[in-house]
Structure 1
Amino acid sequence: MASSNTPSSLLSPPPPRIRDILPKLRIGRYIPGPNNSLTVSLVSCHAINTGVTTILPRRDWFNFGCYASYFRFNGSGEMTGSHWLDETGLLSSPIILTNSFSVGPCYTGIFEYAVREYRDKETGLVDWFLLPVLAETCDLFLNDIGTMAVTSDMVVRGIDLASSEPVKEGNTGGGTGMMCQGFKGGTGSASSVIDGVAFGAETTYTVAALVQANYGAKRDLHFGGVPVGRLIEQEEAAAAAAEEDVKKAKDGSIIVVIATDAPLHPTQLQRLAKRATVGLSRVGGWGSNSSGDIFIAFSTAEQIPRAPDFSWKATVEQKVSVVQDVTINALFEAAADATEEAIYNALVGARDMEGPRGVVVKALDHEKLKSIMEKYL
């Protein structure tokens, strides 16, 4: 992972995560992965409270695709490339997350990178086709979205700098200017490790989730089933009028990206993507009319060649292994758990932010959260 943060922010310690703040909180029954995150490249433009998150399914995403699928829980949003996912179940693109007005430059940025790296070296011409995948949520309350500050260069740089470092969370990348359930939201990630068996040999599989959380109302916020948002609202009744502008903001959206190394085919991956809905509902999201809740899942287990030799003969060249459906439940459960925890991490990783209208959206108070949860854990 790499970031274009300012030098001062690079010196700041990373924000705490939900397991640091509430070590007794039970989130599923599986252990987290080594970084407890989905590895991404993050590039953010903090001056205007917006940015870009760049996720590479694999380093050579251009030549070798992944099986993938998506699920639309509520469709007030955009995910490009979804028709091709429906048609073939193949992902041959980075996944870009940004704000609603930056879909165009991010789409262009993927093409600019691909043209730079994969045009014919002798002629300089392009002889391939590409359908970029990117998704958006709307940060207009905290970002002067009309400046259209995101550029295609940010995407190119994000792909160039991608690495396997843990994900920066909160006010970073595409999540920089996002709000979540009445508090400052943003980018969050988590992962779960499950046991498996591959051709008789014991193994493990990881299911990771990354969220761009920009949805919901404070009154619906739950941590581990505890109605934290409602309890905080009761404590802060006197300050309710000051928060009226935040409550009037359009209910936003959430994008969830689920990645796994378990061998799943596209139909299974769509089923996996659907389980993000369970994690979302645990925290307090229910898919309002104006919310764009779109989830994509991909598997890195198989490398699908981009351009095998064309033939009119139906040709079989590759054997594909897949998890048996009757053994898939742990993956479903892990996807729900990772989504839930990723949203928690987006909330606790965020910091207060002032928007262009002069209104400050507060981050979730860690001490207040701990004080409430101590009564239940």
Structure 2
Amino acid sequence: MQTPRRVRDLGITVGTLPTGPLNALTDVPGVRVGQTTITGDGLNTGVTAIVPEGWEDTLPAAVAVGNGYGKLIGSTQVDELGVIETPILLTGTLSTFRVADALITWLLDRNPHATSLNPVVGETNDAHLSDIRRRPITPDHVHTALNTASSALPAEGCAGAGTGTSALGFKAGIGTASRVVGDPGAGGGVVGALVQANFSGLLTVLGAPVPAPGIDADGNSCMIVVGTDLPLDARQLGRLARRAIFAMARVGSDYAPGSGDYAIAFSTSRTPNYADRDLRTPFQAVTESVEEALLNSLTMAQTTTGFENRTVQAVSHDLLVDRLTAAGVI
């Protein structure tokens, strides 16, 4: 079995902007990620928690919907008010509601006076590799992901909410990447992305097709979380979120009718003062970050056998490099 490697470790460079130190969503100051992974006995699933500093007092945010075939809990209030007031959690489709309930318990324990809370929980369908009807996520799984969230490089591939997901005919999962916009010490900042990849299409890397032989991959959704410390308001974050969904096309998404494709974008700054005319580089940063995060979700995944002995193969690193070399793009 090949060793998981990020695309940059394979000599594949996406875009032109510089990455953050970890090339991850956690390069955004104050953003932490925690995950709980569940495997064995027909299960390949889990929870991924994105915990930005300051969520308790709300943070500017927006949701973009590419195709609304999904269960994104809390999205309408984010649309209405332009803020998030909880961490953002990801999981498997039929566990979405258990995760939301466990998140509410975690929040109530921290605020004895709360009577209204808007948990934000997204999902993709991991039924091909996990016995989704068992809804195995417990409050302990959710609380562990939240309580262990850190600013380290998040685990990618078969981890957390990506443990049982596949994309573009190959095993996929969680992926992350980041880009630096300008000088962080002089009005610049970081744009980072984390993805839960689980959608169909023809894998395309730097414009070169890399087909998955013999695999009929139906669309089963993609969740994208974008974070930044740039001082953007909710409307501008909505523009970033839409570009995050556009970036799926760069890796070959076919945006299938059954694929629920969503992006949530938030800023850790509560003092928006960014001019729309200056959004060109943040737009580039989000598309590059999402493209690379999606590719990392694939190259960091491992071949997985799961529910009913179904197997999904990881993309071969050797095949990937050979295809891109022959195409003259690396």
TM-score band w.r.t. shorter chain? over 0.9
In the TM superposition, what is the alpha-carbon distance from 1:107 to its structure 2 partner? 0.6
State the AA in 1 paired with 2:205: F
What does residue 277 of structure 2 align with?
Answer: 326
Instruction: Give the root-mean-square deviation of aligned CA atoms.
Output: 1.8
1:186 aligns with 2:173: yes
Question: C-alpha separation between the residues in 1 aligned to 2:145 and 2:242?
Answer: 28
1:18 aligns with 2:2: no
Secondary structure of the 2:67 match is: strand
In the TM superposition, what is the alpha-carbon distance from 1:322 to its structure 2 partner? 1.8
In the TM superposition, what is the alpha-carbon distance from 1:14 to its structure 2 partner? 8.0
Question: C-alpha separation between the residues in 2 aligned to 1:157 and 1:14?
Answer: 27
**Does the Cα contact within 8 Å between 1:15 and 1:169 map onto a contact in 2?**
no
What does residue 158 of structure 2 align with?
Answer: 171
**Does the Cα contact within 8 Å between 1:77 and 1:136 map onto a contact in 2?**
yes
1:139 aligns with 2:119: no
Q: 2:65 pairs with 53, 67, 72, which one?
A: 72
What does residue 215 of structure 1 align with?
Answer: 199
State the AA in 1 paired with 2:133: G
In the TM superposition, what is the alpha-carbon distance from 1:110 to its structure 2 partner? 1.1
Secondary structure of the 2:309 match is: coil
State the AA in 2 paired with 1:15: P
Larger C-alpha radius of gyration, 1 or 2? 1
What does residue 52 of structure 1 align with?
Answer: 47
What does residue 342 of structure 1 align with?
Answer: 293
1:354 aligns with 2:322: no
- CA deviations 1:58-77 (Å, max 9, x no partner) are 2x422x21100010001111
Secondary structure of the 2:142 match is: helix
State the AA in 1 paired with 2:223: I
State the AA in 1 paired with 2:284: E
- CA deviations 1:283-338 (Å, max 9, x no partner) are 01132110000111000012xxxxxxxxxxxxxxxxx3321001111001110000
Q: 2:314 pairs with 363, 370, 374, which one?
A: 363
- The within-5 A match list for 1:240-255 is 240=214, 243=215, 247=216, 250-255=218-223
Instruction: Give the unaligned 5+ runs of structure 2.
Output: 27-32
In the TM superposition, what is the alpha-carbon distance from 1:104 to its structure 2 partner? 1.4
What does residue 250 of structure 2 align with?
Answer: 282
**Does the Cα contact within 8 Å between 2:191 and 2:289 map onto a contact in 1?**
yes
1:225 aligns with 2:195: no
Q: 1:264 pairs with 220, 232, 235, which one?
A: 232
Secondary structure of the 2:268 match is: strand
C-alpha distance 250-79 of structure 1, shift in aligned 2 (>3 A): same
Q: 1:111 pairs with 104, 107, 111, which one?
A: 104
Secondary structure of the 2:222 match is: strand
In the TM superposition, what is the alpha-carbon distance from 1:196 to its structure 2 partner? 5.3
In the TM superposition, what is the alpha-carbon distance from 1:46 to its structure 2 partner? 2.0
State the AA in 2 paired with 1:128: T
Question: C-alpha separation between the residues in 2 aligned to 1:338 and 1:325?
Answer: 20
- CA deviations 1:28-78 (Å, max 9, x no partner) are 1101111101131111112310000011122x422x211000100011112
In the TM superposition, what is the alpha-carbon distance from 1:26 to its structure 2 partner? 3.5
Question: C-alpha separation between the residues in 1 aligned to 2:233 and 2:186?
Answer: 21
State the AA in 1 paired with 2:97: G
Question: C-alpha separation between the residues in 1 aligned to 2:133 and 2:218?
Answer: 16
Q: 2:24 pairs with 29, 34, 37, which one?
A: 37
Percent of aligned pairs with the same amino acid: 35
What does residue 316 of structure 1 align with?
Answer: none
- The within-5 A match list for 1:82-93 is 82-93=75-86
Question: C-alpha separation between the residues in 1 aligned to 2:207 and 2:228?
Answer: 27
Question: C-alpha separation between the residues in 2 aligned to 1:127 and 1:67?
Answer: 20
What does residue 29 of structure 2 align with?
Answer: none
C-alpha distance 127-369 of structure 1, shift in aligned 2 (>3 A): closer
Instruction: Give the unaligned 5+ runs of structure 1.
Output: 1-12, 120-125, 234-239, 303-319
**Does the Cα contact within 8 Å between 1:172 and 1:187 map onto a contact in 2?**
yes
TM-score normalized by structure 2? 0.93
C-alpha distance 104-321 of structure 1, shift in aligned 2 (>3 A): closer
**Does the Cα contact within 8 Å between 1:14 and 1:168 map onto a contact in 2?**
no
Question: Structure 1 residue runs of 4+, over 6 Å off?
Answer: none
TM-score normalized by structure 1? 0.82
Question: C-alpha separation between the residues in 1 aligned to 2:221 and 2:160?
Answer: 16
